[in-house]
Structure formats: C-alpha cells, structure tokens
Amino acid sequence: MELNKSVYHQRRQTVLKKIGTDGIAIVFAAPEQRRSNDTEYPFRQDSYFYYLTGFPETESALILNGKEQTATLLCRHKDSDSEIWHGFRYGPDAARDQFKFDQADDITQLTEHLKKALPGHRQLYALWGLYPERDPEIITLWNEINQIANHRSINGSTITPENLINLASILDPMRLIKDEHELSLMRIAAEISARAHIRSMRHTKPGKYEYQIEAEILYEFMSHGARYPAYNSIVASGKNACCLHYVSNRDQLRASELLMIDAGAEYQMYAGDISRTFPISGRFTSAQKDVYDIVLAVNQASIEATVKQANWQTISSKATQMLTEGMIDLGILQGSVEENIDKQNYRRFYMHGLGHWLGLDVHDVGGRFDRQGQPILLQPGMVTTIEPGIYIAAADDIPAAFHNIGIRIEDNILVTETGNENLTASVPKTTSAIEAIMQT
C-alpha cells in the first residue's frame, strides 16, 4: 500500500519539476456516466488523473502549482448520509494524509483555489479537450484573472498565464515507459486475461452461444479480482470475426466455423488485450489452418523484432509484406507482392494496424512519432500489442473454403534491455497446442 501511494507522489514530483516554477497544471477526475434513469455505469477513474494520484473518486481535481512546487487535491467532503447510500469517500483530510498531497480541500472550493493559484504562472497546463465541458470553466477563470491583472498592470507586475499547453505533452511520454509498479500490475492483467482465453477454449462447443463463452471469460476475470474487462469482449464466430470490433456476441456456434476472441481483463486500472482464434469443432480444417499459419508466422516474426531500438514502422511494414505474400499464396490476391502493397490491395483482408501501446488505456497514449515527427524507437518499459490478422468475407471471387475465416492473434509484449517479454505467452497459439487444449 505504501509503495502504491509513493509511486503517485513521485510522478507528481516529476511533473512539478517539468512544468517548472512558471507552470501550473490542472487535471480532472472522470465524471460518472448515467446508464439509465438514476443508475450509473460502473465508475472508472480517468487514466491520467489516476496515474498522478491513485485517487479513486469522481468529482475530484488535482492542481500542481509549479511556483510552490505543491500538489493540491480537491475532492468531495465527508457526508455520512451520502455514504450510507453510495459508500465510503475519503474526504479531503484523509485523502491528503493517505495519498500524500501537500493540501486538500472540498471540491466546491476549486474555483477559489484556481483564482489564487493561476496568477504568478506563465504556463497553464491542462488536458484540453479530454473533458470538453471543463475547458470553458478554466478559460472563463483565466479571462477573469487576466482582466483583473490588466487593470492593475499600469503599475503592477501581476503575471498571468500566457500559454495554454496540453499536459499530455508531459504525461504521454511518461506513461509510455512503464515503471516496475505498472509492470507488476500489467503482468497480472495479462495473466488473468490469458487464463480466460484458455478457459474459453475448453468451454467452446458447437451449439453454445457466443454470450455463453463471454460469460466464461468474465467469470475468469472476476474470479481473479478483475471486476471489469478492459474493453467490451469480442466473441466472434464465423463471419462475425470479419467485423473487427464485433461485440453483440449473440450468435450460435457452428462446428464448421472458427471462433475469434479478443478479450482482456482490467486489473487495478491496467489492461490486458489478447486475441486468439480456434476451431469450434476442436480441429482446424486445412483451409483454416493455411490462413492461421500465415497469421501466426507474422505474429511470431513481429514479436521477435520487438526489441530495444527497433523502429515500429519497420516491424509493421515487414508484417504487411508477410501477410500480403501469404494472401498471394492462398490465391485470394493476384499479382506481385510489390503491386499489392503499392495499391494497398491487402487492406481488403488486413485493414488495421499491427498493434498499439498498452497500459492504463487499452489503446494507450504515447503515439508512434515524437513531436518532431520522428519515429519513437522502442525502449525498455514500453508495452505494445502485436496483433496481425486476416479477415476473408464471403465473396464470389474468393474460394468457398476461405469464406468467413477471420483470424487475429494478439499478444502483449514488453520491451526489455535484452529483448522482450511476452506477457501473454501462456495462451496456446500453435494449431496443435490449441487442438490439444481443446480436448482437455
């Protein structure tokens, strides 16, 4: 517990240093989202806010005051009536002490705190646009402060913010490199996700429904302390796998078809993100195996190339090339590899990227290029998914044996000093290993 809290404190210290004595930063907690009438979706804290605070409550805000080098939390006050209905809340005093803020106050005092804190800083950092309804509040306040300052400026020296800066420019590069605390949680998220995929393989039978397999996945997540999936689970049989983010999960499983599952647990805010594809009957047909082995080879080659100093664009291009070669070998593309890549014909069957960063968000922040437009080379501590796929919808110009085969094989890869660590290696992915586990 102590370790947890000091990690957030340290991150705030890093940001305070980076914004310097001229900078002030504001970060908001996530709002609650209404689901129906007076019920809400399960609350999930904002990833940035959580990264800097570890604080789990809505209606909160963090002010980082560069001039004072202090962190102030604004949160809901203690309220015994509300707590009877809605559960425990820390209140400012306990929040300050337990989460190591320099100060804490009631969220109703946010404007007052900002009015006092903004003057004296030239740079105003916020996550502009993240919660668009909050931006005008800050801008209005900034205007007010500017007007007061302008009136005094005849003889005055009041400094007010002159630059509005996106705090993501500081936080995204930090979040891109996972620290040990984050990695310990990501390993657990990955392992719980892996167990759920293995369970799905064992429970899949012709005649069951996609949602019944989804239930097995959620059972495994929750049984291991991951209350929620990191994203809506995709349980896609047959042609449904050709819809990349199919989530209705309501069709019946047919023995002749494949089942593609893309599902990951969220464990203490960190995401797992695994895809596996396997035959509902327990045995791949030869056409299914032909397509599968192409995708598998690309998954494996791409993982091997995911090492320190590697260029993601190079890894991606190589994957596209291998997939295109495979499509030509299958006979679903005609002509040369170069021509099919130049004309992007492969996009008919492979229409997404090779992967994305993974962390607090399933599609985690950080980008693949730096602010100068240069590729970000892979570094130890970065975690990326590797998820090549081939999706063949039924069409007159495609041999019938390949119709409605949709395959994605996705792993979560941590770049290390010496190579990489596949966080999701425990889920079988060769056709023989999958067939074997489906018999157990």
Which partner from the list ligand GLY, Mn ion, none does 142 bind, CB cut-off 5 to 8 Å by kind? none
Distance CA 111, CA 382 (A): 37
From 293-301, 319-327, 406-414, 422-430, span contacting Mn ion (CB under 5 A): 406-414
Tokens of 147: 């007007």
Nearest partner of 167 among 11, 330, 288, judged by Cα: 11
Question: Per CB under 6 A, does 273 bind ligand GLY?
Answer: yes
Strands 405-408 and 411-415: unpaired
Show the tokens assigned to 237: 């049989």
For Mn ion, the binding residues in 266-295 under the rule CB under 5 A are 273, 275
Q: Which does 231 bind (CB under 5 to 8 A by kind): Mn ion, ligand GLY, none?
A: ligand GLY
Q: Binding marks (x or -) toward Mn ion, 33..72, rule CB under 5 A?
A: ----------------------------------------
266 vs 273 by CB, closer to ligand GLY: 273
Q: Which of 214, 257, 266, 387 binds ligand GLY (CB under 6 A)?
A: 387
Smallest gap from Cβ 262 to ligand GLY, in A, equals 5
- Which is closer to Mn ion, CB of 268 or CB of 385? 385
Nearest CA to 247 out of 228, 269, 262, 227 is that of: 262
Under the criterion CB under 6 A, does residue 325 sit at the interface with ligand GLY?
no
C-alpha span between 171 and 365 (Å, rounded): 9
What residues act catalytically? Answer: 38, 245, 262, 273, 352, 356, 363, 387, 391, 408, 410
Distance CA 70, CA 351 (A): 47
Question: Of 46 and 410, which has the nearer Cβ to Mn ion?
Answer: 410
User: What is the C-alpha to C-alpha distance for residues 75 and 98, in angstroms, rounded to an integer?
Assistant: 13
Tell me the closest approach of the beta carbon of residue 233 to ligand GLY, in angstroms. Answer: 9
Q: Which of residues 185-244 bind ligand GLY (CB under 6 A)?
A: 231
Q: Which of residues 393-412 bind ligand GLY (CB under 6 A)?
A: 410
Q: Is the dihedral of CA 238, 241, 243, 245 positive or negative?
A: positive
Q: Please, which residues have CB within 8 angstroms of residue 376's CB and are 6 or more apart in sequence?
A: 176, 312, 366, 367, 368, 369, 370
- The single residue among 46, 191, 220, 262 that binds Mn ion, judged by CB under 5 A, is 262
- Smaller CB distance to Mn ion: residue 275 or 277? 275
Indicate the residue among 318 and 356 with the shorter CB distance to ligand GLY.
Answer: 356
DSSP conformation letters of 341-352? HHTTGGGGT--S
Which of 267, 217, 213, 195 is closest to 426 using CA atoms? Answer: 195
For ligand GLY, the closer of residues 78 and 356 by Cβ is 356
Q: Residue 11 corresponds to which tokens in the numbers above? A: 């991150």
Residue type present at position 279: P
**246 DSSP assignment:** -
Rule CB under 5 A: which of 366-385 touch Mn ion?
385
Kindly report the CA angle at 362 between 6 and 222, in degrees rounded to 5?
Answer: 80
Shortest approach of Mn ion to residue 230 CB, angstroms? 9
Can you give the binding site for ligand GLY, defined by CB under 6 A?
Answer: 231, 262, 273, 356, 362, 387, 410
Can you give the binding site for Mn ion, defined by CB under 5 A?
Answer: 262, 273, 275, 385, 410
